[in-house]
Structure 1
Amino acid sequence: MKKSIAFVLPNLNAGGAQRVVSSLANSLIKEYDVCIIVLYNCDPFYKLHPDISIRFCLPEYNSNPNTFQSIINIFKLVNSLIKILKNNNTSIAIGFMPVTNIYTILATRFINIPNIISERANPKYSSMNKFWTYFRKIAYPFANCLVVQTKANKDFFKTYVRTEIEVINNPVDRELLEKRNFQFPKENIILNVGRLDEPKNQDLLICAFSNINNSKWKLILVGDGNNYNEYKNLIASLKMQDKIILAGNITDVSKYYNMSKIFAFTSKCEGFPNALIEAMSFGLACISTDCPHGPSEIINNNHNGILIPVGDQKALEENLVKLMNDEVLQEEFRLKAVQSTLAYQPNDIASEWSKIINNLILKEIFES
């Protein structure tokens, strides 16, 4: 009989953590009964295996609660999470992202089942308020295992937990890989994929592209976010509406990966750059800022891609021009990029998670 596992996260919207959970759940459904528990009712952005069940703790999100409502909401969410875990006879709960990690720890301690929590963002650039930052330090020592994506994140959280911290990279989405087509006709497109917000720093890319000879090229930015209108206005002010395209959120981004030649990644900080891994697995020649954390663990500078200093528009312009004008270098980076991303295959990453899950379940059985 399969053991029951539950992933817990805030929502199933478009996002890095949501994509990773979806990919892991789709891989692990062969071995476990998988449930995804979200805090509030929502439709999944990414495709999920039909055998994966989805549960939600509360029907809707109050975007502007007062202090009293916030406290009541926490109790409601944890209580609902406890009920779902018990009703599903869950063997282990796996939290993703800080606040849901805390809820997962509270709920699992109450019903005495093991937990795994996972930090996805760069904690040094966290937007968590003082309450949750303080609560995280209190709750995290009660985690059975903490999974992070980079060695730098592991070093940061060493003082937070009493158990082992495991470093597991993100998998490339299986469904995305299945749509990879190396024979697809390439176009003179520079691609960027990610949320349109300040940490991703796409305005640097927009300005750099507008400042170089781009007569035969286009820049496409896939994603949505707080800065969409700001970037739209910036593109208009540069009179680049015909050259720079804001494509919005795209469920199936494989078309853009298949048709583009160059991928430009301009983040100021990262937890782990999913889009960069995806682009390299599709064989795009990649330029990335050497931001904390992730790119330098993926790109060997001038071997399988190019690293530039964060915020350096001149370096970005020079290297864009270099790649745009050198098809031999594009091909060299393409082949080496694909080879270097073999370590991020979904089955291999799922196996790493499965090993931790099984060890904790067995440990709980022997100790009970």
Structure 2
Amino acid sequence: MKKSIAFVLPNLNAGGAQRVISSLANLLIKEYHVLIVVHYKCEPFYKLNSNIKINYCQLQYNTNTNKLHSLTNNYRLVKNLTRILKEHKTDIAIAFLPATNIYTILASKFAKIPCIISERANPELFHINAFWHTVRKLAYPFSSRLVVQTIGTKNYFKKYSKSEIEIIKNPLNSDLLNKRDVLIPKENIILNVGRLIEIKNQDLLIRAFSNIKHGNWKLILVGDGDRYESYKKLISSLKMEEHIILAGNISDVSEYYNKAKIFAFTSKHEGFPNVITEAMSFGLACISTDCPFGPSELIKNNENGFLIPVGDQKALEIGLTELINNPELRNAFSEKSSLSLQANNPNEIASQWSTLINKLIEKQ
């Protein structure tokens, strides 16, 4: 008989954790009854198998930051999550992101089931407030297992988590991979995919591109965020409206991956850069900042891509210029990229999760 698993996360909006859970849920639905529990009602941004059930702890997002309201809201989230886990006879809960991890540890104890928690961001640079940091240190040892994506993140949590820590990399998106079409002609496009926020540092890319001899090349940024308007003004001030395009949020980025020749990534830090694995799987030549953590575990400098220091506009300009003017190098990076992604094969990642899930359920 199929076991029942529940993924828990804040929402189903566009985002790295949401993309990974959607991919995992679609992969694991063959083996398990899969439930996704989110804090509040929202429409899924990523496509989900019709057999996956979705449940909500509350109907609306609580924007009230009053301490009493926050405490009441947290209590309700844990109470409702516990109720949902019990009603669906869940065998194990799997949570992503710090606050949700803590709610799920508590709810899983009340529901008397094991739980896996997962950290997706770089904990050395992605700071949570003092209260949640303290609660996290107290709560995490009570999880059944902590899953991270990089060696750097594992080393950080070794300091205070008594739970076993496992590294499981993010799976390549199967649906996205199936849309790769080598017959689509490549265009002179440099692509960036990600939220337009401060840590992604796309203004560095915009300035670097505007400062090189780009000829008939275009820079396309896919994503949205609080920097959208400021980037729009920056592009206008540089008189680059015809060469730099803000495409906004796109649910299916395969069109851009299929057309682009170069992928540029400028983050200051990452939990794990899913978009680099996607770009490499589509055969794009990649240039990325060597930020903690992730890019250096995917890109070997001058072998299958370029790694540059964080915030180094000059190095970015040199790298982009080399990739634009050297099609042989682009092709070499493209061919070597696919060979380096075997560890991110969706079925392999799903198998690692399945092994861990079954082990913890059997121990219960």
- Shared fold (TM-score greater than 0.5)? yes
Could you tell me which amino acid in structure 2 is paired with residue 107 of structure 1? A
Deviation per residue, 1:199-254 (Å, 9 max, x gap): 00000000000000112100000000010001000000000001000000000000
Distance 2:81 2:335 in 1: 46
Q: What SS class does the counterpart of residue 124 from structure 2 fall into?
A: helix
Distance 1:67 1:294 in 2: 36
Distance 2:215 2:315 in 1: 20
Q: What SS class does the counterpart of residue 343 from structure 1 fall into?
A: helix
Please show how residues 81-120 of structure 1 align to structure 2 within 5 Å: 81-120=81-120
Q: Post-superposition shift, 1:64?
A: 2.8
Please show how residues 282-297 of structure 1 align to structure 2 within 5 Å: 282-297=282-297
Q: Post-superposition shift, 1:338?
A: 1.4
Gap runs ≥5 in structure 2: none
- Give the corresponding residue for 1:21: 21
Range that drifts further, 340-349 or 32-41: 340-349
Q: Post-superposition shift, 1:160?
A: 2.5
Q: Post-superposition shift, 1:345?
A: 1.4
Q: Post-superposition shift, 1:100?
A: 0.4
Range that drifts further, 178-187 or 257-266: 178-187
Could you tell me which amino acid in structure 2 is paired with residue 296 of structure 1? S
TM-score, with structure 2 as normaliser: 0.99
Distance 1:166 1:209 in 2: 39
Deviation per residue, 1:255-276 (Å, 9 max, x gap): 0000000000000000000001
Gap runs ≥5 in structure 1: none
- Give the corresponding residue for 2:34: 34
Distance 1:342 1:249 in 2: 28
TM-score, with structure 1 as normaliser: 0.98
- Give the corresponding residue for 1:206: 206
Please show how residues 145-156 of structure 1 align to structure 2 within 5 Å: 145-156=145-156
- Give the corresponding residue for 2:66: 66
Is this contact kept in 2: 1:4–1:33, CA < 8 A?
Answer: yes
Could you tell me which amino acid in structure 2 is paired with residue 249 of structure 1? N
Is residue 316 from structure 1 mapped to residue 342 from structure 2 by the alignment? no
Deviation per residue, 1:37-58 (Å, 9 max, x gap): 0000001000000000000001
Please show how residues 263-282 of structure 1 align to structure 2 within 5 Å: 263-282=263-282
Distance 1:41 1:127 in 2: 27
- Give the corresponding residue for 1:53: 53
- Give the corresponding residue for 1:244: 244
Distance 2:183 2:129 in 1: 48
Is this contact kept in 2: 1:143–1:161, CA < 8 A?
Answer: no
Distance 2:277 2:206 in 1: 22
Distance 1:240 1:199 in 2: 23
Could you tell me which amino acid in structure 2 is paired with residue 311 of structure 1? G
Distance 1:115 1:90 in 2: 10
Superposition RMSD in Å: 0.7
Q: Post-superposition shift, 1:183?
A: 2.2
Q: Tell me the number of residue pairs that the alignment of Structure 1 and Structure 2 aligns.
A: 364
Q: Post-superposition shift, 1:109?
A: 1.0
Distance 2:87 2:49 in 1: 21
- Give the corresponding residue for 1:195: 195
- Aligned identity (percent) is 64
Q: Post-superposition shift, 1:23?
A: 0.2
